[in-house]
Amino acid sequence: MKTVDLFCGCGGLSLGFQRAGYEIVGAFDCWEPALNCYTNNFKHKAHYLDLSKKNIALKKIRPLNPDIIIGGPPCQDFSSAGKREEGDRASLTITFAKIINSIRPKYFVMENVARAKTSDAYNDAKKLFKKAGYGLTEQVLDASKCGVPQKRKRFFCIGALNEDDGFLDTYLAANQSVLPLCIRTYFNENNYNLHFEYYYRHPRTYSRRAIFSVDEPSPTIRGVNRPKPPEYKKHPNDAANPDKVRSLTTQERALLQTFPESYDFGNNQMIAEQMIGNAVPVNLSNHVARSLLSFINHDTQSQSIEFINWLQQEHNYTQLAAKDVISHLSRCNRILSVANLPEQEYLEQLEKKEPFRNLSKSIRSQLKRSIILYAEYKQGSHNK
């Protein structure tokens, strides 16, 4: 899949798609620090391009003949951290749509903050997408359920030529976890050193808490990283007392955006913090990229879609309830590998595991039920 990344920034969207097997043939932005960062971390170069000048942009992009165009038009005019009014930068969402409309790649992916979905700019862009013949999947994804230890909600509009609206809904849902990913779990799974139990993240107002635990997803990583004020007083909902609690380092923030430890953000800390906060989390990007690839390849096995369909057909589960079963299976697998053990033997061994015994009776029952359903499904598939 030949891929062009517009508004590429420091490369979070590109890296997620590249890891899924897409070939990035062009990356464009007009912020020099981000272009330098991108080029330092990829084998291909990112190029300067003012994407507000549509005709010039088309001359650069069209010869690349992309199968898919991805991009996150600047979101400051939609952000809940801003003035909540649409300004000039919101028009770049419409420009993105016009570029898609002119080049008509087979697929496109547009990412933005959750509020963008209800904006006038997106409504105008959507009309252009539909006019060009795209079926649209429109979803606000919670990054903490897509492999990112961060409670970050982002809106994705994913288009496919001549497809029905909602074409990717099942694929996006099938690989999400129901339980959010906490920092401790993510660091342990990736062998990162965890040098803190609690940390300070500056609130937008002092009516909100500011101290968080590693046993929960982080709040949204923003483009600024303010230190804890000396006079800060504990909020009732803070996870710990302010004493000896610090802000996250630049690299820790990058890790929470699921960039690799080796990613080079340059020597200017203020610019690095801004790039990190503006980026699409790599694992969230990868989640979307893999889901789209599964749809393109008609791959139902890897995303557990056949199992979800079976639960809906045989047990009248809703899609959300079926997702819960998938999540419970995944949790079982983290405790004890769901391999080739017979159902009863697996359940007996599972009940001996301390992490399982420490769960509530209700959760244990749900996990065991997921194993019974999966065994029934596998037996039915085998008999076919």
**Which two structure tokens, joined as six digits, stand for 37?**
């960062």
Q: How many angstroms separate the CA atoms of 267 and 39, rounded?
A: 15
DSSP structure class, residue 111: E
Q: How many angstroms separate the CA atoms of 333 and 337, rounded?
A: 4
Q: How many angstroms separate the CA atoms of 15 and 243, rounded?
A: 38
- Listed in sequence order, the residues at least 6 apart from 172 whose beta carbon sits closer than 8 Å to its beta carbon are 137, 139, 141, 287, 288, 291
Q: How many angstroms separate the CA atoms of 7 and 47, rounded?
A: 10
**Cβ atoms within 10 A of the Cβ of 123, count?**
12
- 212 touches 198 (CB < 8 A): yes
Burial 332-369 (b: 16+ CB within 10 A, else e): beeebebeebeeeebbeebeeeeebeeeeeeeeebbbe
Instruction: State the catalytic residue, choosing from 10, 75, 157, 182.
Output: 75
Q: Residue 204 carries which side chain, given as an amino acid letter?
A: R
- Please spell the DSSP secondary structure of 43-55, one letter per residue: SSPPEE--TTSHH
Strand spans (E) along the chain: 2-6, 23-29, 47-48, 68-71, 107-113, 134-142, 150-151, 153-161, 198-200, 211-213, 218-219
Active site residue 75: yes
DSSP structure class, residue 127: H
**Which two structure tokens, joined as six digits, stand for 53?**
């000048």
Residue with tokens 């903050």: 113
Q: 241: buried, middle or exposed (CB in 10 Å: 19+, 13-18, 0-12)?
A: exposed
CA distances from 80 to 102, 113, 138 (A): 31, 9, 20
Active site residues: 75
